[in-house]
Amino acid sequence: MSDPAPLPARKSGGIAARALAAAGAGAPWLEGLNPEQLRAVETLDGPVLVLAGAGTGKTRVLTTRIAHILGTGRAAPGQIMAVTFTNKAAREMKQRIGSMIGAAVEGMPWLGTFHALGTRILRYHAELAGLKSSFTILDTDDQIRLLKQLLQAENIDEKRWPARQLASHIDRWKNRGLSPEQVPAADGSFANGRGIDLYAAYQERLAVLNAVDFGDLLTKPIKLFQDNPDILAEYHRRFRYILVDEYQDTNVAQYLWLRLLAQGTGDDKPNVCCVGDDDQSIYGWRGAEVDNILRFERDFPGATVIRLERNYRSTSPILAAASHLIAHNEDRLGKTLFTDVTPDDGESEEKVTVASAWDSSEEARAVCEEIEQLQRKGHPLNEMAILVRTSAQMREFEDRFFTLGLSYRVVGGPRFYERQEIRDALAYLRVIAQPEDGLAFERIVNVPKRGLGDTTVRKINALSRGENMSPLAAARLMSETEELRPQARTALRNLIADFDRWRGALETLPHTELAEIVLDESGYTRMWQEDTSPQAPGRLENLKELIRSMEEFENLAGFLEHIALVADVENQENEDAVTLMTLHAAKGLEFDTVFLPGWEEGLFPSQRSLDENGRAGLEEERRLAYVGLTRARRRAKLWFSSNRRIHGLWQSSIPSRFLDELPEAHVDVIEQTSSYGGYGARGYGNYGASRFDRPVEMESAYKTPGWQRAQAARGTGRRPSSGPITIDGDLVARSVTETSSSYAIGDRVFHQKFGYGHIATIEGNKLTIDFDKAGRKKVVDSFVSPHSQAG
């Protein structure tokens, strides 16, 4: 790699300087910039941090800054390093710069993602990095396969210590820029303390294979620069300007990589410009360090900080609500968004609305009703989005869309019933209900792994076709003959016995309970519990949501028929459709109307995030709420439910603390007057009356066990209960009175958390119950119902 010819020093006030100033003054790319954007573009000397709030023109500033550097001759195309996070962002940046200044952008070889630029550096200096220039970049599947070989060679039980879990540890270490020698001993607990040695063996094996993984594309250039000061000096001479997009999303390795390269840009102070928004740092779970942007001024003394606060997307009430909410975070640099934009159709600006629903099903129906009303007024579906905290929330919205015939698209992943874990679970249920379903049987015959590989499946299919029988019948026959090796025969025989047992239980057990048994006994749930990938917790939540969705159907056959109809709905990419996605997937997008359901404690903010990361986790959750609000251009509609199914159990929900952090002046609380009730008017707050407080005029299609119990309770005069409140494991009664209970000792009752049991003793309205599975518990009688009404 040859060094570029150095640019001459500019004489202050000389002819060249005056010409450059004239070129900048007449630059067409500067037209239309507001004062803050213009300052961010023209401040070219020394370190610059551009704090770009949501909708403030961040991308325009970054691309215009590059165009300005090139257009004024401050640097040649090859002397600028511009780093983005996605290939798509890099392509868009090149296109924008090209439209401003022409083809010069084609000579920008150092515009790309961290990983792409890391690859380029390693190709140049492969031998110094212990590689050949033709090295291979392993994908995740190859990485897992290699780690499995290492575990096998070390006689480590892969079922006890999964390769995917080890891969997660290694990825986390590399995100922190740690080599095997640098990993703290306390952090290597994998496989009873052998994790660090396995990491070292993995790196040695990669070297033998002349291969790297994605983490190496960051860590190896860092080591290269640290071990070879002369190579680092080459890059210091090469790059006059470094620009980084989405700086708040960088991890430790990316930060170290940037610091090393930035040292040499500029004569006195590094010409490094980082653009980002600390209030939109929402990827801590995958290694991003918000501290990188928070300490920019300490890392680069004398840095210029420019705040872009003029928003071109959202209305004033939305921005006021978002700014007031995020101000509750302590670890932030601080800015307040504002806008001069008014609705172009003459309509008044709508406040952010907050509404409640009795449960999540009612929430989905109410949101979809609002969508229909907006559609009837001419609002395109394409300009509406539902943003959820977890993917498990999507199922009820998808079912409702299907019922109403509303078109929708899922962004950032497949539709609920098309997800891998859901299709696997449904395949088990299809084989139970329809033994002839060969496609379903083939899908799960070796999921989880049972030692039944492709060869076994081919033999089963061949026998099935030859004898004109179902694959399950063929498998039963082959399990009794000698065609297969003993291990495969045993595994097949056990699987068939499982299906026979499950099918026999179909007549005696509720289909929801049977589904849980199937997922547990088959090992499918355990497979995802042992999986340490970031997607695994979400997959387990989706499986629980699948079980919950079955409650609305009388039997398994009816449920499977419904699924077949839902799955048959085509998703046309270009049609007018509502967008459904998680809040994480929504970053960078915008819609006229945004619905934000599920603003409840434990769900949003996520209890897992609070438990694992404390205050830092809470602040990231608040940033996620900020991102959700600022996706809305004209309307932001927040919802919470009084009851929600959490981890398979119905629980009463507490409204999210984020709701009380919104400014009252810019928020309207919607008191439901229709059938969509929140907490009832009878002492449950001012969120509107519950539909359970009124007689039902017609037969309802709402057939969940909770609805049936509520109807029964309405007839007895008891308020339907949503479950006990548990604090630190202790049961806390809402009210304990001296009123005699309507139950008698020996009565069999049902409790939503503890299940079925018999009453042992009665003290006022407190019952001591011997539960079948949970043992003896003391509860208030309003939390139970007679077993005959348990649905």
Residues carrying an active site annotation: 58-59, 245-246, 280, 631
**Which helix H or strand E contains 638, and what residues bound it?**
strand 632-646
Kindly state the tokens that stand for 665. 């002046």
* Rounded distance between C-alpha atoms, residue 754 and residue 596, angstroms: 32
- Residues 601, 640: contact at Cβ < 8 Å? no
Strands 755-763 and 766-771: antiparallel
Q: How many CB atoms neighbour CB 714 within 10 A? A: 17
Task: Give phi and psi for 393, each to the nearest 5.
Answer: -70, -20
Number of H helices, E strands in the chain: 29, 23
Q: Which amino acid is at 377?
A: K
* Rounded distance between C-alpha atoms, residue 409 and residue 534, angstroms: 23
Burial class (CB in 10 A: 0-12, 13-18, 19+), 327: middle
Which residue's structure tokens are 């499986």? 543
Q: How many CB atoms neighbour CB 88 within 10 A? A: 10
Q: Which amino acid is at 513?
A: E
Q: Give which of 154, 151, 152, 155 is closest to 169, Cα–Cα.
A: 151
3-state secondary structure of 770: strand
Cα within 13 Å of Cα(377), Cβ side: 7
Task: Give phi and psi for 450, each to the nearest 5.
Answer: -125, 10
Kindly state the tokens that stand for 551. 């409650």
Strands 211-212 and 136-137: parallel
Cα–Cα distances in angstroms (integers) from residue 56 to residues 277, 581, 740, in the given order: 11, 23, 63
Ordered DSSP codes for 198-267? HHHHHHHHHHHTTEE-TTHHHHHHHHHHHH-HHHHHHHHHH-SEEEESSGGG--HHHHHHHHHHHTTSSS
Q: Give which of 169, 123, 124 is closest to 144, Cα–Cα.
A: 169
* Rounded distance between C-alpha atoms, residue 313 and residue 319, angstroms: 9
Kindly state the tokens that stand for 467. 């004898």
- For the chain, the farthest-separated pair of C-alpha atoms sits apart, in whole angstroms, at 101
E strand spans, 562-631: 578-582, 591-596
Q: How many CB atoms neighbour CB 354 within 10 A? A: 22
Buried b (16+ CB within 10 A) or exposed e, 363-389: bbbbbbebbeebeeeebebbbbbbbbb
Provide the 8-state DSSP code for 672: B
3 state SS for 393-451: HHHHHHHHHHHHCCCEEECCCCCHHHCHHHHHHHHHHHHHHCCCCHHHHHHHCCCCCCC
Angle between helices 536-550 and 420-433 (to 10 degrees): 40
- Beta bridge pairs of residue 84: 113
Q: How many CB atoms neighbour CB 253 within 10 A? A: 24
* Rounded distance between C-alpha atoms, residue 368 and residue 570, angstroms: 19
Q: Which amino acid is at 438?
A: G
Kindly state the tokens that stand for 277. 């928004």
Residues 6+ apart with CB under 8 A from 336: 309, 323, 327
* Rounded distance between C-alpha atoms, residue 352 and residue 324, angstroms: 12
